[in-house]
Amino acid sequence: MLSRSVKLSLRFMFPLAILLGLFAYIVVPLMDNLTLRWSVRDLDNRSQLLAATLQVPLREDVLLNDKAHIKKLFDGAIEDERLFALGFCDPSGKLLYKTSTYPQSLGCWEKPTDGTKQKSLVQLPRGPVHVADTPIEDNGTGLGRLILVHDMSFIERRSAETTKYVLIFFALLGVAIAFLTLLVSHLSWRGWLASLNDVLRGQLLPRDVKSTAPGATPPPPPPPEMEPLIGELRSLLEEYHEERQSSSSNNSAEWAPEKLKALLQQDLAGDQVLVVSNREPYIHEKNADGTIRVRRPASGLVTAVEAVMRACSGTWIAHGAGSADRETVDRNDHVPVPPKNPSYTLRRVWLTEEEEKGYYYGFANEGLWPLCHIAHVRPVFRSSDWEEYVKVNRRFADAVIKEARTDNPVVLVQDYHFALLPRMVREALPKATIITFWHIPWPNSESFGICPWREEILEGMLGSTILGFHTPFHRKNFLDTVDRYLETRIEPEASTISYGNELTQVEDYPISIAWPDYPDTQPVEQCRTEIRQILGVPEDHLLAFGVDRLDYTKGILERFQAVESMLERHPTMIGKFSFVQIAAPSRSDLEEYMNFEQRVRKLAARVNDRFGSDGYLPIILKIEHHEQAELQRYFRASEVCMVTSLHDGMNLVAKEFIAARDDERGALVLSQFTGAARELHEALIINPYHIEQGAEALYRGLTMPPVEQRERMRSMRDRVRRFNVYRWAGHMLLDAARLRKREKVMQKIRSHSRGNLRRVS
């Protein structure tokens, strides 16, 4: 089959051949004519020379009428191969002497009587000849004319040769041009394809993909000749991107629990949904008086996946970490949840202290967490932690296998705690649809490379059918990492990885929240008043708010520094403004987290010492767990919400704040290093490392005119409502359904072709 470049070259070569033929057709007669003129001029000169040589002996012989000598003279002269014949005519025009070769029809070559110029070229039956005459005189008396006849047949030979060479020349020229064209077009085609590929992978990934995430390797610059094309392609892609977004956003307006349920029933008919995560959605804890209370953990993962599970039912497998967890499960370690209105099953997995220490605190949170966040805390990798990590992944995989009622359940694996589990489940349930979602960032390949078990981690994850990240940037980092450390086949355009006999689809699915319905929400005014009363500040006191797990990736120190700087730069705010930080204690058994808590407390105290007075605290720090309803009240009571993560996969606090503000008021200060910054463009986007920038954004938020607040808030609310968590799960499940269908078709084809083979043999 002809390659595309050869076809293109042929398209060019055909007209080229016609053009060159035409050229030869015009050039050959021109060359002939030119050669003839040169030859005639040569023969004119030659004839003059010969005549001059023969003049003297001929004159004497004519005077003596010595015929014998004249014959000898003439015959001697025509021995020259070109001189064909000689003749001599007297003044009356009578041919007196001639060689035997002299053409009779030529006579005395009289001049034309009509005054036209006598032609030296005469066409005779034997071929063309050149004729020239020279007068022979004796002391001024004309004795006659010597007529010299040159053979011109060599001109024809020369013309034929010239024609041949000209044609050969054009043919060779044609071949050379064709060859060069082929070569150049082939090389350019390849070069173009390569550059286009680069461009599509790096330069043309939507601009926002080229995030400024810490540790990001910038894509190589495009070759200069591609610049105009890049511009064109970029705008085309952006148009496409916008169209895609607007079409999916139209769909997403309808993404709701009912739609998700319908999708599960129709597209994944009868399939069972299993969720695996480390953190459980409901923690049963014992109070001091022996009663049991249920607590919701501070976890973005739980916030999002819980909404999906309520819609889909199924079983959620998680670590039972609460002090009363064992007391509340049945003999299969199951407990129906949510407690007040059960809609799915929580299956608890029990871990020993040693397992939790090595797998959760050690490998997951001292190793993978800092490794993926690149937030200036060095990851720690210990073999003993790794062994526990492998063991616990096996424990959870076994739980999944045990809970599966069919051989093809849909398994939703959550986060970095279970990188090995997808392959373990795949080996036991080859037909399962395994969707793994990585809730934290994925670093660049160099950074990831420091993990001593990087290959094992990647191999484990590639047991998934679908692998999801929050942003295209993290997805691309993952593809690069696999490309660097594993022997796989990657299709970057389709975003798939083939490893062994399995195909993994790698996609970005930005996570979100369930849009709240507000029936029992306190009115904003009431929240404002009550929260200010709780805090002991006046009614018109300005509030900014932050809520996070107490984690070094959240930029809490930078946030406090921004508050300090804002008070320095805008002293009118002193006494009139406070920053409320709720920090849910997290991973407090780790030294890094203990130290971090100390630093947070110390900094808050320093700022309060510096700017506080008479019960006035610029920073109100509450290091304790708060329930969601309480947080809602803070969101609604504050002028500004600050999210200043140094690196964050998505950050749902930002979206929760937006969702809480049904009054369309309030301003969001948002770190550019969060996945949320890719969606919430109307927030005040900052680099949290730039303290003054954070300070000014905070001030701007506190003083933002209501009209501007409304405009920004309205647009962000619209987006969060449409791009909700059901859309997040729906897109993953739709992709899974598509892949399952494809797999079923492939299986039919395989068994069909096996049947055919058996029949043939």
Interface residue list for ligand F6P (CB under 6 A): 278-279, 299-301, 415, 439-440, 586-587, 649
- Residue 211 CB, shortest distance to ligand F6P, in Å, is 17
C-alpha span between 453 and 75 (Å, rounded): 107
- Residue 279 CB, shortest distance to ligand F6P, in Å, is 4
Q: Which residue's Cβ lies closest to ligand F6P?
A: 301
Q: What is the DSSP code (8-state) at residue 616?
A: B
**SS3 breakdown of the chain: % helix, strand, coil, rounded to 5?**
55, 15, 30
Tokens of 258: 């009912």
- Residue 513 CB, shortest distance to ligand F6P, in Å, is 12
- Residue 305 CB, shortest distance to ligand F6P, in Å, is 9
Residue 627: helix, strand or coil by DSSP?
A: coil
Q: Considering only CA atoms, which of 81, 98, 102 is closest in space to residue 89?
A: 98
C-alpha span between 85 and 75 (Å, rounded): 9
Which residue lies nearer to ligand F6P by CB, 211 or 586?
586
- Residue 352 CB, shortest distance to ligand F6P, in Å, is 18
Which residue lies nearer to ligand F6P by CB, 151 or 280?
280
Q: Considering only CA atoms, which of 243, 256, 338, 251 is closest in space to residue 729?
A: 256
Other beta carbons within 10 Å of 128: 15
Strands 502-508, 466-469: pairing is parallel
Cα–chain center distance at 524: 45
Which residue lies nearer to ligand F6P by CB, 439 or 655?
439
- Residue 691 CB, shortest distance to ligand F6P, in Å, is 25
Which residue lies nearer to ligand F6P by CB, 97 or 634?
634
- Torsion sign over Cα 698, 213, 656, 532: negative
- Residue 414 CB, shortest distance to ligand F6P, in Å, is 7
Which residue lies nearer to ligand F6P by CB, 349 or 619?
349
- Residue 590 CB, shortest distance to ligand F6P, in Å, is 10
Strands 334-337, 344-349: pairing is antiparallel
Which residue lies nearer to ligand F6P by CB, 474 or 528?
474
Which residue lies nearer to ligand F6P by CB, 301 or 562?
301
- Residue 276 CB, shortest distance to ligand F6P, in Å, is 13
C-alpha span between 81 and 456 (Å, rounded): 94
Contact 541, 532 (CB under 8 A): yes
3-state helix/strand/coil string of 262-306: HHHHHHCCCCCEEEECCCCCCEEEECCCCCEEEECCCCHHHHHHH
Which residue lies nearer to ligand F6P by CB, 299 or 709?
299
Tokens of 426: 């795949």
Other beta carbons within 10 Å of 103: 18
Which residue lies nearer to ligand F6P by CB, 587 or 633?
587
C-alpha span between 252 and 728 (Å, rounded): 9
Amino acid at 251: N
Which residue lies nearer to ligand F6P by CB, 647 or 661?
647
- Residue 300 CB, shortest distance to ligand F6P, in Å, is 4
Tokens of 393: 């992944």
